[in-house]
Amino acid sequence: MRSEESAAALASGGSATVAVELLKDVARALGGHSRLEVILQDCAQAIVDRVDAAFARVWTLDAAAETLVLRASAGMYTHVDGGHARVPVGSFKIGRIAQRREPHLSNDVANDPELSDPEWARREAMVSFAGYPLIVGEDLVGVLGLFARRPLEESVLGLLEAVADAIALGIRRAQAERELRIQGEIAEVLYRAGTAVAQVHNLESIVQTVIDLTTELTDAQFGAFFYNAIDERGEAYTLYTLSGAPREAFARFPLPRNTQIFAPTFDGRSIERLADVTADPRFGRNEPYFGMPEGHLPVRSYLAVPVVSRSGEVLGGLFFGHADVGVFNERAERIAVGMAGHAGAAVDAARVFELEHRLALNFQRTLMGGEVPLIRGARLVQRYVPANELAEVGGDWHDLITLPDGTLAITVGDVVGHDLRAAVTMGRLRNAIQLYALDGHPPAETLALAERYLQRAGVDDLATVIHARYEPKGHRLQIVRAGHPPPIVRHPNGLVQALSQVELDGTVIGIGRTDRAEVTVDLEPGTIVLFFTDGLIERRDESFDDGVERLKLAVAEAATSPYLSFCDILIDLMVEDSAADDIAIVALFVDELNPS
């Protein structure tokens, strides 16, 4: 039944048939598509067809902007742009229907004081108007309006009220479904982004990752993350990082101040999303630029979100811009808010990491800052190389002490972990080994006593250790190994070999087995014994045995150099670019014992 047939049916008293058909059409429209615009367009077309309207329109409410947005138009006007595309609540007849939340009905529109253009009504022969607020519960969701060239009877007006109620429910359902879909999409986006942020640990990498991801996800042309950093003296200062624009684009301008536009973000008070920042009444009110300085990147769309720590401290802010108007929508805002949450947690973690780093680094430097002991019949060289990714903090260590009987205790170890806990455990284990060695215990017993001490202290961290005692008078080396790589020996004849792992059998510190084999090796003058941690031979694409073979070749080459350069040359030969793990090395050079 088209509009002409509907008009005839209404004129002949067939309003019941029209009502049934219209409600069926609206029901089909509400259940036939997922896109709200298509649903509302089908509803508007059904109204035009069934009640012989000249045109019908549906607006939905943008609550944040307090504006009605035209979503559908059928009949003589089908466009959804123009002067009535966005109607502020309270403006024009449509806006006042929304404001009053009451229908407006008229069968004499040419003389209706609510009509803004009576001349248009007379020219187009418009007779009647019906407008209905679309309400669900207490919530306004939109407005339905239509014009007709004949009077609208009471039965038709009642029918349109029922149709308006059905459309309101359809709008709410479609909005709820869209909200769930958007939430799912945003949750997935934020999960992926959060995973990416969690994989970086230092502050500079975190802020760059955050601003790069968020700039892309919000469709911003450029973004900036202004954040507060803390130096080694505990003093705060402001830094920034950019995405989508070269740093030179901002280099000539001072850091932003708490102007009326920026203050809500830097103070942590609110999120700012502006369709056109230049139209905001706060824009251009502050000296010295009264707006954007000359040469600044053009900004119309503006989005800014505070970055806040778990404790509530404002750490900084994410700022995004675009040269076009109206770019940032609710989805962009939600993504930026979610990323600001990830950023706050990551910056908190980075600060804790950096604090632990400074403590552990100072602790580690204190422990390994002693001078190399001088003993007759031997020369010693030691080196410590921190891992590049772990900011110089780890559980690797070396230790050289002269014992009361004139022998030398050599220890190289590696506590599992790269944090303050690993450094503390390393310090306790090192001190325990020193203590028991100074008391005169042989190497295997020294390790067993040190491990029992850690057990009594409740320390359950794992560690590998090699501990040796060198007697210069007899050129004799006593060695015990706790899961650590065995030493490499370069003999005076040039032969290079690793001491047998079978003979030097011993489990790692921390699993409760203290029965370890102790091996005694007689050395000739001119022998080099290398003690090392596994960072020296580790490569992702190489087995342990292959790494040992590579090290043997490097020892053979480095042995031809002056002894003070031996460890440095060895590291250059073994490590590509920078170390993937901490490296601790002790090289023992066996000399003739001069009786004098």
The Cα–Cα gap between 483 and 466 comes to 8
- Please give the mean pLDDT across all residues of the chain: 84
Check pLDDT > 90 for residue 184.
Answer: no
pLDDT value of position 495: 95
Q: Tell me the percentage of the chain whose pLDDT exceeds 70.
A: 83
Q: What is the rounded CA–CA span in Å between residue 402 and residue 409? A: 6
Phi-psi region at 25: left, alpha or beta (left = phi > 0; alpha = psi -120 to 50): alpha
Q: Is the pLDDT of residue 100 over 90?
A: yes
Q: So what's the pLDDT on residue 547?
A: 92
Q: Fold identical between 3-179 and 200-360?
A: yes
Q: What is the pTM of this model?
A: 0.48
Q: How many CB atoms lie within 10 A of CB 539?
A: 14
380/401 Cα distance (integer angstroms): 11
Condensed to tens digits (0 to 9), the pLDDT of residues 188-246 reads: 766 776 676 666 667 777 888 888 888 988 889 989 888 876 555 555 546 778 888 87
Nearest of 116, 73, 74 to residue 94 by alpha carbon: 116
- Residue 376 neighbours by CB under 8 Å, 6+ apart: 472, 593, 594
Query: Helix 154-198 crosses helix 15-31 at what angle (to 10 degrees)?
Result: 0
Class of domain 200-360: alpha beta
Residue spans of the domains in the chain: they are 3-179, 200-360, 368-590
Q: Which residue in 538, 529, 209, 195 sits closest to 387, CA to CA? A: 538
Inter-residue contact 516 to 481 (CB < 8 Å): yes
206 membership: H or E segment, kind and range:
helix 203-217
Q: Tokens 């973004």 correspond to what residue?
A: 223
The CATH number of 3-179 is 3.30.450.40
Query: Contact, 91 vs 113, CB < 8 A?
Result: no
Report which residue type is found at 506.
Answer: G
CATH code, 368-590 = 3.60.40.10
Residue (of 561, 488, 562) closest to 528 by Cα position: 488
388 within 8 A of 579, measured Cβ to Cβ: yes
Number of H helices, E strands in the chain: 14, 21
134, 171 contact by CB (below 8 A): yes
Give the separation between CA 192 and CA 186, rounded to whole angstroms: 10
Q: Tens of pLDDT along 367-379?
A: 555 678 888 889 9
Query: Is a pLDDT exceeding 80 seen at residue 550?
Result: yes
Q: ω into residue 288 within 30 of 0, thus cis?
A: yes
Tokens standing for residue 468 = 């040796």
The dihedral through the CA atoms of 97, 102, 108, 113 has a sign that is negative
Tokens read off for 499: 């001491």
pLDDT of the residue at 201: 62
116-158: per-residue pLDDT in tens?
Answer: 889 999 999 999 999 999 999 999 999 999 999 999 998 888 8
